[in-house]
Amino acid sequence: MTAALARYFSGRGQRVAVFKIGPDFIDAMLLEAASGLPVYQLDLWMVGEAGCRTLLYKAAKQADMILLEGVMGLFDGNPSSADLAKRFGLPLLLVIDASSMAQSFAAVATGLANFDPQLRIAGVVANRIGSDNHLQMVREKLPQTLPFYGGIKRDAAFVWPSRHLGLYQAAEIADLPQRLDSAAAAMAATLAALPLPEVTFDQGVEEPLPPLLAGVTIAIARDAAFSFLYRANLELLVALGATLCDFSPLADSELPACDALYFPGGYPELHLAALAANTSLHQAIREHHRAAKPIVAECGGMLYLLQSLTAKEERAALVGLLPAAATMQKGVAGLGMHSVTLPLPQPQTFRGHTFHHSSLTQAPQPLTLSTPQRQGGKPEAVYTLGSLIASYLHLYFPSNPEATAALFRGAFFHH
């Protein structure tokens, strides 16, 4: 729905800035494809209220329209999409899956609209409608005080394919432009009728950053296997003075000239044979490590640096820097927001999140453990070996810019 909105209005000459609430990487890729503009994550805990305000204010200065896609249900999580909407006075369009209900739609919609009287509810849309008769039943008992902006019929032409970590990445959906156009066209009547209330954002305070990474070149693993990157992370590295370059563990036999390596998360389990076969790059990474140059690895990036990874009974020998193996499993092994304090050499705290379907075996003693934001959450280990620091955690670098600079200068193993 959010992607269709972005496609519809950008196709009519509007400059549409889109945000994804929560830490999701893949939704942001699809929203970028729909809007043609960069998409950033918003989260009151991970990004912080000040960070969210700055991002929204900058977007408001440059765009004609701002769209925010929520995370899970409106009130799910702490903080939730509702909390963020309330904090910034944002109007909400309720999108409800009506595929397995009729008149009960009105009860769900009314409950959402009235659960927190401080929210600005602009109206409601029914998703996955089966027929005109179904649409009529869905709207029958809606109160007149809750504007109804129609229903979107089920259509395979604009369903995104999905797998274990969520949707397919934008680059993997060959007919994505056609799907976006189909969704926007199917929703045109609904979208044209939507209210577009104005919102005013206070100016965020943006402190100038010292050039702590001036002269440092960071090579980033980026290809179909490694693509879970926060745009805000990359922009922060540049703002700190770093030079960024990309390389592909799938295709490149050697590393670019660099001072540090960054292996983000992704889907190494889908490309095991190709990653395992590229042994010349494995050797180059091990030489980088022997030269005591920093390596920062997150989630899928960490899996690539292990001795082996097993998925669907296929075991592949990988880079072998970290003396451990991992196995993919059917269920979620880790999920949620975390903070972690690292010795850099002074204790410095990052915020971030974790979401993975694999677990490590025979792992080394960790440097430290993260603190889950949610009570009862499972801590994540952070491993170091010489100039390598690795974890399942996806760190949000703007949560601590100075510590980020220390991370890529290898301060954790120089103290």
Active site residues: 299
- The Cα–Cα gap between 170 and 26 comes to 7
Provide the strand spans (E) within 99-254.
Answer: 120-129, 148-153, 162-163, 166-167, 217-221, 226-228, 243-247
Nearest to 254 by CA among 226, 287, 228: 287
Q: Which amino acid is at 12?
A: R
Backbone angles phi, psi at 268, to 5 degrees: -60, -30
**Token pair 């390598």 is at which residue?**
388
Contact 387, 294 (CB under 8 A): yes
| E strand residue ranges, 29-165 | 40-42, 65-69, 91-97, 120-129, 148-153, 162-163
Q: How far is Cα 379 from Cα 341, in angstroms, rounded to an integer?
A: 12
- Per-residue CA distances from 383 to 175, 192, 324, 350, 366 (Å): 40, 52, 11, 15, 5
182 strand-pairing partners: none
What's the CA gap between 190 and 62, in Å, rounded? Answer: 26
Q: Give me the amino acid identity at 167.
A: L
Q: What share of the chain is helix, strand, coil (3-state, %, to 5)?
A: 30, 30, 40
319: its two tokens: 């880079």
Rounded to whole angstroms, the Cα distance separating 303 from 75 reads: 34
Helix (H) or strand (E) holding 308: strand 306-311
Question: Under a CB-based contact definition with an 8 Å cutoff, are residues 342 and 348 in contact?
Answer: yes
Instruction: Give 142's contacts (C-beta < 8 A, 6+ positions apart).
Output: 105, 106, 109, 110, 124, 148
Token couple for 353? 């999140």
- Spatial separation of the C-alpha atoms in residues 355 and 358, rounded to whole Å: 9
